Amino acid sequence: MGAPNPPATLDDLLQDKRFPTPVPHLRRLWRDPMTNSTDWVLVKPGGLITGIHTRHTGEPLRNAHEPRDATLSGTTAYSQWVFEAEPATAPPNAPAAATPADNNNAIPGGAS
């Protein structure tokens, strides 16, 4: 079973019904510290949320960043600081997922 698709709305993160048992990822919708509003700009390629950023267009106080935050370097407005989820990947050395054909080869009790 792979990871579910990204959510369509922020409310989906409060009570995520994409799982057999609903999962709360957030206790509440957090306010944007730059605008004091819950009205975030959502990055939604294909209609599903993959990222978020502020609507505030003020100039950042910081222009140089650590290597892990290199995508923020050179931005001229807080609204350009986009935070996106990384695509889910299998951990290194993870066994390959079983396929239905794999399951047909093993018969309980060793019968063939």
Whole-number Cα distances in Å, 71 to 2, 45, 61, 112:
28, 19, 16, 56
Q: What is the sign of the dihedral through the CA atoms of 105, 110, 111 and 112?
A: positive
If one compares 110 and 42, the residue with the highest pLDDT of the two is 42
Structure confidence by residue, pLDDT tens digits, 13-58: 899 887 889 889 899 999 999 999 999 999 999 899 999 999 999 9
If one compares 92 and 46, the residue with the highest pLDDT of the two is 46
Task: Tell me whether residue 88 is exposed, middle or buried, using C-beta atoms within 10 angstroms of its C-beta: 0 to 12, 13 to 18, 19 or more.
Answer: exposed
φ, ψ of residue 56 to 5 degrees: the values are: -65, 125
